[in-house]
Amino acid sequence: MPRFTDIYKKLYIWRLHHISEQNYLLLLSVVVGVLSGLAAVALKTVVHLSGKYVMSVGGAHFATGGGNILILFAPLIGILLTVLFVKYVIKGDIGHGIPSVLLSISRHKGALPPRNMYSSLVASTLTVAFGGSVGLEAPIASTGSAIGSNVGRFFHVSVRGVKLLLGCGAAGAIAGIFKAPLAGVLFTVEVLMFDMTMTTAVPLLISALSASTVAYFLMGQQVQFVFKVAEDFTLGQIPFLVVLGIFCAFSSVYFLRCTDKVESWFSRSRNWVLKWIVGGVSLGVMIFLFPPLYGEGYWALTELLNGSNDDALFASSVFNTFRDNGWVALAILFVLIMLKPVATATTIGSGGVGGTFGPSLVVGGLSGYFIAALGNYIGLPPQSTANFALVGMAAVMTGVMHAPFMGVFLIAEITGGYALMVPLLITATVTYICVQPFEKHSIYARKLAQKGDLLTHNKDASAWQLMDLKKLIETNFATVPSDGTLRDVVEAIKRSKRNLFPVLDKEGHFLGLIVMDDLRHMIFDSERYDCTTIKELMMTFEDKDLVHLGDSPAEVVKKFQLSNRYNLIVVDEEGKYQGFLSRANTFSAYRRFISESSEE
């Protein structure tokens, strides 16, 4: 019996001779799309069934009237199970969803650990099924990315191919969840920062279509939201859409900053038991008071879209007696907009696993419904609450993820047409313009950008930001002591192949530089060897002429331009000599980075 490795090698050799890498990637994109679609369907089905079972335990069904005591404790149980799974089964960092995918693209050549193909699936299931107020889209997108990355590496495609298949996995995952192939492709382009070229577009689209086909085959027409637009757009709606866009910008900035603050607060403690108890109890109380915060929150949004606002806002609620009061309903809507980001960050900060994709959709839907309902209630020209909710979803997604086209086409595909295209474009544009002055990066990219680890569509800026200049430092220069003489310099010249000689004190601090061209007239005059001191020979440098280890690549480039030198001296924070940076080597590394990150 031939061994698997022997068969694998023969197939690999045959592929090299008969199938080009481009065609090979097209075939693998189908495989990645099918696997991502299966993962998306499996996750959604398991979470739906397990969540339904959890809430029916003890006969306390979530959809009945009155408060449900069970949901005070369900999040506590779910987060504990998640933490134990991560600590004792995964036994390592499960990653941070989309940010970990972005980091792998920019720093790790698209490589993701094999365990990422299942770890997020299991962990997010445990979290969401028990009421964790997070979304499943980011975990499934990171799972699809891991599938693509590992398929690419298993079949030995190039680094560029691995990254492309990673993107195919993410596109397939989003397409599989929503049955929206265009939204899946645009997620990869706008959120994961892939360039849209012919080389990338076809595999991404094939993967997204494959995943959508799998989802249709296994789940039929069932999607997150089933809604047909009944009211057409009119020009008189434009002022209301502008107001909605501004309000969604407020919701987006609040979402970004609130989640950041709450997660930062939890990260200050290393005691996982304390974080679990505080987060689980806090989340349970929030969900008990406002049941739409339970889990992803899509069920409440679906009820709103279908006109059942009483069931969406008051089912299993302690405020059930106020269901006929319009102002109370509006107040609950506004509180939900404010609390959903808190509940999401609390879930993640206390040890739960999930994403912010779904919560941003829910906050957007609530924001749109709130603006329309408020206007209708105070007597303004009536607007469709369902249409405004759908448009709000795209707008807040635009503000939170900085992905306007994905948001627009996701809602267009969900609603089965383009009847809302103009309102979607108007509102998303207003929101994006209003958010930009306050938040330059998306919720996934902001922390990576702060650390200088973000690869963006601007490859030139990314190259200087992501290059590791420490690896380019040259150390083969002979140094001379500051209290020495010309004789020490001559001895250094004998053992060095370079014509620059750093002058250091006894502690290794850089004091100046001696250039051999300046010594040619005296190095053969032995009478001057012991009477000419190094301090007389060296050139001194100001701090602005030195590169510090903490300087960013952009600062280094600026110093090369200002100094007009071919080599810059590198020192650490204490001023101790580290080596030289060569202009030629630095710009050669830049050109290599641009070549490797190019998609064509």
> Which residues neighbour 434 within 8 Å (Cβ) at sequence distance 6 or greater?
245, 246, 249, 399
Q: Would you say the CATH fold of 235-450 matches that of 4-219? A: yes
325, β-bridge pairs? none
Lowest mean pLDDT, pick from 51-60, 162-171, 550-559: 51-60
The single-letter code of the amino acid at 512 is: G
Q: In the structure, what pLDDT confidence band is assigned to residue 462 with cuts at 50, 70 and 90?
A: low
Q: In the structure, what pLDDT confidence band is assigned to residue 172 with cuts at 50, 70 and 90?
A: very high
We find that the CATH architecture of domain 235-450 is Orthogonal Bundle (1.10)
% of the chain at pLDDT higher than 90: 29
Overall average pLDDT of the 352-357 stretch? 89
* Tens digits of residue pLDDT in 492-530: 888 888 888 888 988 888 888 888 888 877 877 777 888
The pair of three-digit structure tokens given for residue 362, joined into one six-digit string: 């829910």
Q: Does residue 439 register a pLDDT over 70?
A: yes
Q: What is the pLDDT of residue 61?
A: 43
Helices and strands of the chain, counted as H and E runs: 24, 6
Q: What is the pLDDT of residue 49?
A: 77
Q: Domain coordinates of the chain in residue numbers? A: 4-219, 235-450, 464-597
Spatial separation of the C-alpha atoms in residues 294 and 300, rounded to whole Å? 9
Q: What is the pLDDT of residue 60?
A: 44
* DSSP code at position 382: P
* Structure-token match 């900053």, residue found: 257
Q: What value, to the nearest 5°, has the Cα angle with vertex 152 and ends 150 and 157?
A: 145
Query: Phi and psi for 510 in degrees, rounded to 5?
Result: -75, 130
Pairing of strands 510-515, 547-548: unpaired
More confident call, 577 vs 460: 577
Q: Does the CA dihedral 396-398-399-403 come out positive or negative?
A: positive
Q: What is the pLDDT of residue 1?
A: 46
More confident call, 480 vs 558: 480
With CA atoms as reference, report the closest residue to 208 among 226, 235, 187.
187
Q: What is the pLDDT of residue 226?
A: 61
Fold type of domain 4-219: Clc chloride channel (1.10.3080)
Spatial separation of the C-alpha atoms in residues 532 and 435, rounded to whole Å? 64
Q: In the structure, what pLDDT confidence band is assigned to residue 467 with cuts at 50, 70 and 90?
A: low
Please identify, in words, the CATH class of the domain defined by 464-597: alpha beta
The pair of three-digit structure tokens given for residue 170, joined into one six-digit string: 């993410």
Q: Does residue 572 register a pLDDT over 90?
A: no
* Structure-token match 């335990």, residue found: 57
Q: What is the pLDDT of residue 337?
A: 95
More confident call, 416 vs 594: 416
Q: Does residue 459 register a pLDDT over 60?
A: no
* Structure-token match 């310099």, residue found: 489
* Tens digits of residue pLDDT in 239-278: 999 999 999 999 999 999 999 999 889 988 888 899 999 9
Residues in the chain: 600
Q: Does the CA dihedral 345-351-355-358 come out positive or negative?
A: negative
Q: What is the pLDDT of residue 313?
A: 78
Spatial separation of the C-alpha atoms in residues 382 and 240, rounded to whole Å? 10
The pair of three-digit structure tokens given for residue 109, joined into one six-digit string: 């050549």
Mean pLDDT, the chain, as a whole number?
83
With CA atoms as reference, report the closest residue to 79 among 363, 284, 267.
284
* Tens digits of residue pLDDT in 270-281: 888 999 999 999
Q: What is the pLDDT of residue 58?
A: 42
Tell whether pTM > 0.95: no
Q: What is the pLDDT of residue 581?
A: 84
Q: In the structure, what pLDDT confidence band is assigned to residue 300 with cuts at 50, 70 and 90?
A: confident
Spatial separation of the C-alpha atoms in residues 207 and 171, rounded to whole Å? 7
Task: Count Cα atoms within 13 angstroms, Cβ side, for 443.
Answer: 31
> Which residues neighbour 48 within 8 Å (Cβ) at sequence distance 6 or greater?
none
Q: What is the pLDDT of residue 62?
A: 43
* Tens digits of residue pLDDT in 195-213: 777 778 899 999 999 999 9
With CA atoms as reference, report the closest residue to 178 among 136, 121, 228, 230.
136
> Which residues neighbour 41 within 8 Å (Cβ) at sequence distance 6 or greater?
176, 214, 215, 218, 219
The pair of three-digit structure tokens given for residue 338, joined into one six-digit string: 């404010």
Q: Does residue 598 register a pLDDT over 70?
A: no
Spatial separation of the C-alpha atoms in residues 204 and 32, rounded to whole Å? 10
Spatial separation of the C-alpha atoms in residues 164 and 402, rounded to whole Å? 21
